[in-house]
C-alpha cells in the first residue's frame, strides 16, 4: 500500500503528466534573483484544468501551496519551500486578440510575460502598454501587484481578471472590483490566483509606439542594474521619498554582505553579484533599513516577497 506522499505524487503525475511534476526542485532555477533552496514539489501544468486539479490535489492532501509566475519580485529562503510550488508561466501563456477600429482587447493567460504582450501589442499598432515593455513579470503577477513604471500602471489597461480562490472557485472580477493601488490589489490581499487577464488598448501609430518603447528600454538600461540578477526594486517607495535616494544618501551604495550588494547603479536594488544566498540578501536589507531609519527616520518596507524557510 502506498504511503500518503507516494499517493500524492502518483496522483499529481497522473493528472499533470510526468514532465510537469518535479521533486526537490532548486528554486534558484525559477527566480530572477537566482536564489532559493529546493521546493518539495514543483508543478508546471499547461492548461487551466491542470491548474485547477493541482490546486485541488494540494488542498485535499493539505500540502502548502505557493503560486508563482516567472519568479520576479520573489526571494525564496535558502531552506527552500516545504510544500508545492505551482508555476504558471511559459506552459500557460496564450494570447487571444480581438481588434476594432478604435483599438483592441486581449485575453491573456496568466503565464504570459508582460513584456511579450507589450511587444505583440506594439506590432499590432495598439498603444497603452509601452510602460510594461521592460517589466520582467508575468501578466498574472502584474495584475496582482498593479505593476507599473514611467507613469503607467496595469489598472490603466485592465478590464477584468478570471481568478481562482482558496476554495477552488473560479470567478471573474472587473477592474473596478480589484481596488488597485500602489503595488497592491484585492488579488494580492485575498490570495487569489489569476488565471487570465483581459486588457483594452487604444489604436496608435506603430512607429511612435516603437519609439516610446525603445526610449523606455534605454532609460531602464542606463538606470537599472540589469547586468545582475535581482528581484527588481527591493523596497516600496515611502510616501514623500524615493527609496534609492535615501539609501544612497545614507552612504550605502555598494554595501555588501557576501555576494548580495546594494547596486552601485541604482541603490533601490539589491543584486546578486555571484552566488548570493537569501540570508545574505536579508543581511543587506536589514542593515539598509536600520541605517535609513537611524539617519532619516523613514522605515523602508520590502517590495520583494519573501517565501520559504530562511
Strand order in the sheet with 270-272: 256-257, 260-262, 270-272
Q: Which residue out of 48, 120, 291, 303 is catalytically annotated? A: 303
Residue 69 carries which DSSP code? S
Is position 303 annotated as part of the catalytic site?
yes
Q: Provide the grid cell at 164.
A: 481562482
Residues 165 and 281: their CA atoms lie apart, in Å, by 32
Q: How many CB atoms lie within 10 A of CB 47?
A: 12
For the stretch 113-122, what's the b/e string if a residue is b when 16 or more beta carbons lie within 10 angstroms of its beta carbon? bbbbbbbbbb
Q: Which residue out of 11, 22, 119, 183 is catalytically annotated? A: 183
* Closest to 74 in 3D by CA, of 264, 263, 308, 254: 308
Q: What is the DSSP string of 29-79?
A: GGSTT----EEEEEE--SSHHHHHHHHHHHHHTT--EEEESS-TTEEE-TT
Helices (H) and strands (E) in the chain, counts: 8, 17
Q: How many CB atoms lie within 10 A of CB 102?
A: 9
Q: Which residue out of 138, 160, 233, 263 is catalytically annotated? A: 233
Instruction: Show which residues are catalytic.
Output: 183, 233, 303
Amino acid at each position: 500500500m502506498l504511503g500518503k506522499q507516494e499517493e500524492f505524487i502518483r496522483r499529481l503525475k497522473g493528472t499533470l503528466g510526468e514532465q510537469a511534476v518535479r521533486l526537490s526542485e532548486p528554486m534558484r532555477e525559477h527566480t530572477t534573483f537566482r536564489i532559493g533552496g529546493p521546493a518539495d514539489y514543483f508543478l508546471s501544468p499547461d492548461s487551466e484544468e491542470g491548474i485547477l486539479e493541482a490546486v485541488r490535489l494540494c488542498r485535499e492532501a493539505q500540502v502548502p501551496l505557493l503560486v508563482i509566475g516567472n519568479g520576479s519580485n520573489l526571494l525564496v529562503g535558502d531552506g527552500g519551500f516545504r510544500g508545492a510550488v505551482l508555476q504558471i508561466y511559459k506552459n500557460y501563456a496564450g494570447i487571444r486578440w480581438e481588434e476594432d477600429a478604435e483599438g483592441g482587447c486581449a485575453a491573456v493567460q496568466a503565464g504570459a510575460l508582460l513584456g511579450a504582450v507589450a511587444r505583440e501589442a506594439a506590432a499590432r499598432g495598439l498603444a497603452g502598454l509601452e510602460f510594461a515593455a521592460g517589466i520582467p513579470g508575468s501578466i498574472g503577477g502584474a495584475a496582482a501587484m498593479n505593476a507599473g513604471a514611467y507613469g503607467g500602471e496595469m489598472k490603466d489597461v485592465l478590464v477584468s481578471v478570471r481568478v481562482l480562490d482558496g476554495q477552488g472557485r473560479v470567478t471573474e472580477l472587473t477592474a473596478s472590483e480589484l481596488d488597485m493601488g500602489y503595488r497592491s490589489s484585492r488579488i494580492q490581499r485575498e490570495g487569489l490566483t489569476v488565471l487570465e487577464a483581459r486588457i483594452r488598448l487604444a489604436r496608435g501609430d506603430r512607429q511612435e509606439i516603437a519609439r516610446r518603447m525603445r526610449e523606455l528600454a534605454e532609460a531602464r538600461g542606463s538606470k537599472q542594474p540589469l547586468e545582475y540578477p535581482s528581484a527588481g526594486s527591493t523596497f516600496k517607495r515611502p510616501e514623500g521619498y524615493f527609496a534609492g535616494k535615501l539609501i544612497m544618501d545614507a552612504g550605502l551604495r555598494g554595501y555588501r554582505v557576501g555576494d548580495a550588494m546594494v547596486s552601485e547603479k541604482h541603490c533601490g536594488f539589491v543584486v546578486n553579484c555571484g552566488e548570493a544566498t537569501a540570508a545574505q540578501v536579508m543581511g543587506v536589507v536589514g542593515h539598509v533599513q536600520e541605517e535609513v531609519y537611524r539617519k532619516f527616520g523613514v522605515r523602508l518596507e520590502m517590495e520583494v516577497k519573501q517565501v520559504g524557510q530562511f
